Amino acid sequence: MLFDSWGPMHTFEPLKRAQQSLKESETRLQAFFENSPNLVFLKDRQGRYLHVNKEFKRALRITEEQIKGKRDDEIFSLEQAASFHTNDRQVLDAGVPMEFEEVSFQEDGPHTSIVHKFPLLNAEGEIYAIGGIATDITERKRAEKELLALRDELAAELTAMTRLHEFSTHLLTIDELQSLVEEVLDAAIASQNADFGNIQLYNHEAQVLEIVAQRGFQQDFLEHFRCVSDNGTACGRAMKLRERVIVEDVETDSEFAPHRHIAESAGFRAVQSTPLLSRSCELLGMLSTHFRRPHRPSLRDLRFTDLYARHLEEVLERKQAQQVLQMTQVELARVSRLTTMGELAASIAHEVNQPLAAVTNNSSACLRLLASGNLKPEVLRRSLEEMVADGTRASAVIARIRAFIQKTPGERNLVDMNEIIQEVLGLTARELCENRVQIDRQLTEPIPRVSGDRVQLQQILLNLIMNSIEAMVAVTNRPRSLWVQSGVYESDNLLIAVRDSGTGIGSDADRVFTPFFTTKAHGMGMGLSISRSLIEAHGGRLWAEPNSPNGTVFYFMLPVGARTPS
Ligand code: ADP
């Protein structure tokens, strides 16, 4: 009884509990399977879908009915299906879990997933199905790709910066303006991927831009744009606006119309012009690049061009300042030369004028009396005596002035004549260069110092060198050469020679030292005379000799050390 009443109960309860627990575990598994954020699927050995979870159906926009019992080739493209199938096959063959990267096409495009596939075994240890869990890594992949692109971009930027740095350092080593201009042009063309280019410098006097370097243009273009000052061209406009001008297409740019034919024959459709400006915004030049196709260089493309332009601007500005300085120095030297002589000439003219006026008056009176037949011998003698006296007075004035110069003590310092020679050659460098005079320095180093007035000695040398240049202007059939030599003569004298290949002074070399002797239209004829007085005031000598085979040599000798003139 007890058995009867308890027996069935006894066997039913554990089964029920077991069923219940199985159900619970199935529900848990189902919930786990269903709520996984990954795509989960189960296929049989033939590749037919047994189960897919909610996320799988959502991501692939597919219903339970559409997928259950279907194979990949019935749902996906053949290509995709083939790749899924190949991977499934591998797992079935190997019988172990494996990992794959698979691409599936969803509504918003391709998605990449890491798919873990694993075999499911029955009690006999046979594979009866294949399970898979896919993790979508599309977003991670995109971020990775972006990161890689950024890394590449940074690496490219770094390379470009390094190249720029190297190039800038290289530019600093270029002294010669033309080479610098050429290098900058090449670099600008390369950095913008341009087809042609040119650099113009601004001619302040003519107020035009002139091409000094170009790449890829023919003669007709160079002729047409030899001097630019109008508004139509890109460089003309940039010149007026003092800012970059880009003409994206010369065919549609109305202002460019007058130059279209030349652009067509040169073969460019687009052009950009970047002005080169000084710090005070003065125009120094223009850097232009040209393109075969309509084009607008990006700011990024122009970045390096701007840096090169800044470098060129600085060099141009420095060169300009140097030129102005040199011109000022020469001008100063010229003015100081004229001032010294002008002052002397004025005082001479003033002093000499009086006796000269008296001589003239006396002679005119005699002439008048002679014409009227009233010139008595007595009057004539008196007049002649007065004239002789006035003449003597006039030459006494000159002698006095020369004596005055000789007595003028001036500054006396121990000076290095080689240094003075170099200074004066520096001052006359432009003059020498413009007149194509070759200069040959033959200086004895070291040279003993002499006691003298630095400025006066400079002026004497300046006068000799300027005279030499002027004497060579007419020479066209032989080189124009100037030799400046320094040496020691008989141990206690310095001998300086200024030798030229000019027209020469003829046989009477000494007459050039006569006051007022000049063969020049605007000459004063006082330079050599004063120079001789100044050298004598230093206890030295100045003389001239014909040079062989042509030209003249001026020598001056100065006592070494602090010796005073006797
Ligand atoms: P200026 O230069 O004003 O004529 P200078 O006294 O300096 O005055 O020179 C006088 C003249 O001497 C010159 O006009 C020129 O005829 C002559 N002379 C001077 N230096 C040379 C030279 N190197 N070669 C030829 N002639 C010279």
Question: Among residues of the chain, what percentage have pLDDT more than 90?
Answer: 51
Using CA atoms, how far residue 242 sits from 235, 238, 273, 458, in Å, is 10, 5, 10, 45
Cα–Cα distance measured from residue 480 to residue 564, given in angstroms and rounded to the nearest whole number? 38
Mutate to test the pocket of ligand 1, among 473, 483, 512, 517 (most ligand atoms within 8 A of CB): 512
Answer yes or no: is the C-beta of 546 below 6 A from any ligand 1 atom: no
Cα–Cα distance measured from residue 133 to residue 40, given in angstroms and rounded to the nearest whole number? 5
pLDDT band at 391 (very low <50, low <70, confident <90, very high): confident
Residue that the structure tokens 């008056």 belong to? 361
- The secondary structure of residue 395, as a DSSP letter, is H
For residues 365-378, average pLDDT:
87
**Identity (one letter) of the amino acid at 263?**
A
For residues 520-546, average pLDDT:
88
Range scoring the smallest mean pLDDT among 178-192, 336-350, 434-448: 336-350
pLDDT of residue 4: 45
Dihedral sign from CA coordinates of 177, 178, 180, 181: positive
What is the atom index within ligand 1 of the atom nearest the CA of 524? 3
Answer yes or no: is the C-beta of 517 below 6 A from any ligand 1 atom: yes
- Whether 345 has a pLDDT exceeding 80, the answer reads no
pLDDT band at 1 (very low <50, low <70, confident <90, very high): very low
- Cα torsion 21, 23, 29, 35 to 10°: value is -130
For residues 390-398, average pLDDT:
78
Answer yes or no: is the C-beta of 515 below 6 A from any ligand 1 atom: no
The residue whose C-alpha atom lies closest to atom 11 belonging to ligand 1 is 518
- Are 542 and 558 contacting, i.e. CB atoms less than 8 angstroms apart? no
Cα–Cα distance measured from residue 115 to residue 97, given in angstroms and rounded to the nearest whole number? 10
Phi and psi at 227, nearest 5°, equal: -130, 120
- Are 537 and 479 contacting, i.e. CB atoms less than 8 angstroms apart? no
Phi and psi at 118, nearest 5°, equal: -145, 150
- Are 217 and 196 contacting, i.e. CB atoms less than 8 angstroms apart? yes
Answer yes or no: is the C-beta of 509 below 6 A from any ligand 1 atom: no
Cα–Cα distance measured from residue 405 to residue 464, given in angstroms and rounded to the nearest whole number? 18
Cα–Cα distance measured from residue 425 to residue 432, given in angstroms and rounded to the nearest whole number? 9
Q: Select the highest-mean-pLDDT range: 321-330, 336-345, 468-477.
A: 468-477
Task: Tell me how long the chain is.
Answer: 566
Answer yes or no: is the C-beta of 472 below 6 A from any ligand 1 atom: no
- Are 501 and 478 contacting, i.e. CB atoms less than 8 angstroms apart? yes
pLDDT of residue 446: 92
Average pLDDT, the chain: 87
- Whether 87 has a pLDDT exceeding 50, the answer reads yes
- Which tokens belong to 29? 């598994």
- Whether 171 has a pLDDT exceeding 50, the answer reads yes
Cα–Cα distance measured from residue 415 to residue 504, given in angstroms and rounded to the nearest whole number? 31
Taking the whole predicted model, whether its pTM rises above 0.95 is answered as: no
Cα–Cα distance measured from residue 55 to residue 37, given in angstroms and rounded to the nearest whole number? 6
pLDDT of residue 370: 87
pLDDT band at 319 (very low <50, low <70, confident <90, very high): confident
What is the atom index within ligand 1 of the atom nearest the CA of 463? 7
Bridge partners of residue 554, in order along the sequence: 498, 544
* Rg of the chain on CA atoms, in Å: 51
Answer yes or no: is the C-beta of 413 below 6 A from any ligand 1 atom: no
For residues 420-425, average pLDDT:
90
Residue that the structure tokens 């900058």 belong to? 184
Range scoring the smallest mean pLDDT among 36-40, 98-102, 271-275, 327-331: 327-331
For residues 360-388, average pLDDT:
87
- Which tokens belong to 504? 């020469």
For residues 530-546, average pLDDT:
92
**Identity (one letter) of the amino acid at 460?**
I
Answer yes or no: is the C-beta of 514 below 6 A from any ligand 1 atom: no
Dihedral sign from CA coordinates of 224, 229, 233, 236: positive
Answer yes or no: is the C-beta of 502 below 6 A from any ligand 1 atom: yes
pLDDT of residue 304: 85
pLDDT of residue 227: 72
Give 203-261 pLDDT, tens digit per residue: 887 888 899 999 999 888 888 777 776 677 899 999 999 999 999 999 999 999 988 98
Question: Among residues of the chain, what percentage have pLDDT more than 70?
Answer: 90
- The secondary structure of residue 489, as a DSSP letter, is E
- Whether 23 has a pLDDT exceeding 90, the answer reads no
Cα–Cα distance measured from residue 188 to residue 485, given in angstroms and rounded to the nearest whole number? 48
Number of helices (H), then strands (E), in the chain: 16, 18
pLDDT band at 566 (very low <50, low <70, confident <90, very high): very low
pLDDT of residue 374: 84
Nearest to 453 by CA among 340, 371, 347: 340
For residues 326-345, average pLDDT:
64
**Distance (Å) from CA 28 to ligand 1 centroid:** 121
- Which tokens belong to 94? 């190997």
- Whether 327 has a pLDDT exceeding 60, the answer reads yes
DSSP 35-69: H-SSEEEEEETTS-EEEE-HHHHHHTT--HHHHTT
Answer yes or no: is the C-beta of 463 below 6 A from any ligand 1 atom: yes
Give 253-269 pLDDT, tens digit per residue: 999 998 898 899 899 99
Q: DSSP alpha helices (H): ranges in 60-176?
A: 64-67, 72-75, 78-94, 138-172
- Whether 565 has a pLDDT exceeding 60, the answer reads no
Query: Within 10 Å of residue 418's Cβ, how many Cβ atoms?
Result: 19
Cα–Cα distance measured from residue 83 to residue 16, given in angstroms and rounded to the nearest whole number? 46
Mutate to test the pocket of ligand 1, among 338, 463, 516, 528 (most ligand atoms within 8 A of CB): 528
pLDDT: which is higher, 365 or 444: 444
pLDDT of residue 347: 60
pLDDT of residue 186: 94
- Are 199 and 212 contacting, i.e. CB atoms less than 8 angstroms apart? yes
pLDDT of residue 3: 41
Give 472-531 pLDDT, tens digit per residue: 999 999 999 999 999 999 989 999 999 999 999 988 889 999 887 889 887 778 889 888
Bridge partners of residue 109, in order along the sequence: 106
pLDDT of residue 7: 47
Residue that the structure tokens 């096409």 belong to? 105
pLDDT of residue 287: 96
Using CA atoms, how far residue 317 sits from 100, 294, 544, in Å, is 66, 34, 44
Cα–Cα distance measured from residue 309 to residue 181, given in angstroms and rounded to the nearest whole number? 10
Q: Select the highest-mean-pLDDT range: 66-70, 310-314, 451-455.
A: 66-70
Cα–Cα distance measured from residue 287 to residue 302, given in angstroms and rounded to the nearest whole number? 11
pLDDT: which is higher, 394 or 277: 277
**Distance (Å) from CA 388 to ligand 1 centroid:** 29
Whether the bond between 110 and the residue before it is cis, its omega within 30 degrees of 0, is: no
